[in-house]
Amino acid sequence: MKNKPVIGRIITLLLFLGAGAIPLAPAHADLGIFCERLPRPAYAALQKHETSNDWFEVYEVGPGIWAIYEPFQWQEVISYLIIGTDTALLFDTGNGIGNIKAIVDQLTEKPVQVLNSHTHFDHIGGNYQFEKILSVSTDFSIANSKGLNSEMVTMEVSAEALCKGLPNGVTQENHQIRPFGITGQVREGDVIDIGNRKLEILQIPGHTNDSIALLDREAGFLWTGDSFYEGPIWLYFPETDLAAYKQSIARLAALAPRLKALFPAHNTPRANPAILVEVQKAFDLVLEGKAKPVPTWEGTVTFEFEGFGFLMREDYTRPATH
């Protein structure tokens, strides 16, 4: 029983791997399957930057937009450094396993402030390294800013979660999500002007109540956080609100015709905005009971579609009425 969550997350991880839906792996699946599939084909068209190191790979995915990718850990988190003519914004800081500030310092000398797509631990791990942290400051955000040291976090640096060794000095015994201070609050409609680029805050609750997207209307760029990425979107947490997610994904889908690129927080750093419309349609099918659930691990199911999916609690397979 103790190992079931680990096995389940390995299975879910394997679901992340293809551009489209792939079959569920058996419970005894070897994590090496995940490692053997790297690198993802999407990265073949991108030039890896010289700042890349043994933990992070860095790619320019737009003018002054750097994807800072953690490919060797099962979350495959992507943080984004967006550099303007005056300042820079770091959208998420990853798992806190590697030294993300060392990467950022090599990419820009401009003042940097951090903004998180939401405060799940795999997106706030490097926050403590920065002085300026912006947040929507919900109760969930504030609670998570106090840090986390748990079995769930140490599992992120276990052998099962990795394709290579940890950075020097990082162990299961000492890895934790360190506390950080929120120094500024943002809310719906706020615009962060970093010089020659204006980034608008869209509050899109659902995955969590503090989930946001970041919109550059002029360029047609949208950073989606965990509300969309190419893989099963995790919607099984206690803090997940499916009714709110339904509204939020519909809002993002409505933006799709005016967008040129999506920048998700896991797996691949750039996606076609048209897929948001497909995600909205698919999620409606799930809530209407018209999509087939695939058992994943105890109490959860996955709904598989072309290029994405949803990981949800089994009791959410009924049409939502709340």
- Report how far residue 173's alpha carbon sits from residue 186's, in angstroms, rounded to the nearest whole number: 35
Burial of 174 (0-12, 13-18, 19+ CB in 10 A): exposed
Residue 107: predicted pLDDT: 98
State the amino acid at position 238 in one-letter form: P
Residue 317: predicted pLDDT: 63
Residue 28: predicted pLDDT: 31
Residue 35: predicted pLDDT: 82
Strands ordered across the beta sheet of 232-235: 232-235, 308-313, 300-305, 294-295
Structural domains in the chain, CATH included, are 24-231+258-273 (3.60.15.10)
* CB distance 235 to 245 below 8 Å: yes
Residue 70: predicted pLDDT: 97
Residue 9: predicted pLDDT: 53
* CB distance 43 to 33 below 8 Å: no
- Report how far residue 44's alpha carbon sits from residue 42's, in angstroms, rounded to the nearest whole number: 6
Give ∠ CA 187-193-199 in degrees, rounded to 5.
55
181-204 burial string, b = 16+ CB within 10 Å, else e? ebeeebeeebebebeebebbbbbb
- Report how far residue 188's alpha carbon sits from residue 212's, in angstroms, rounded to the nearest whole number: 9
Residue 10: predicted pLDDT: 52
For 155, the token pair is 């599992």
Burial of 49 (0-12, 13-18, 19+ CB in 10 A): middle
Local confidence pLDDT in tens for the 322 residues of the chain: 333 454 455 545 454 433 333 333 333 334 556 788 899 999 999 999 999 999 999 999 999 999 999 999 999 999 999 999 999 999 999 999 999 999 999 999 999 999 999 999 999 999 999 999 999 999 999 999 999 999 999 999 999 899 999 999 999 999 999 999 999 999 999 999 999 999 999 999 999 999 999 999 999 999 999 999 999 999 999 999 999 999 999 999 999 999 999 999 999 999 999 999 999 999 999 999 999 999 988 899 999 999 999 999 998 866 555 4
Residues with Cβ within 8 Å of 114's Cβ and at least 6 positions away in sequence, in order, are: 89, 90, 92, 93, 127, 130, 132, 133, 134
DSSP 86: S
DSSP 160: G
Strands 191-193 and 184-185 turn out to be: unpaired
- Report how far residue 87's alpha carbon sits from residue 15's, in angstroms, rounded to the nearest whole number: 38
Nearest CA among 286, 205, 284 for reference residue 244: 205
CA distances (Å), origin 197, targets 192, 259, 270: 8, 15, 19
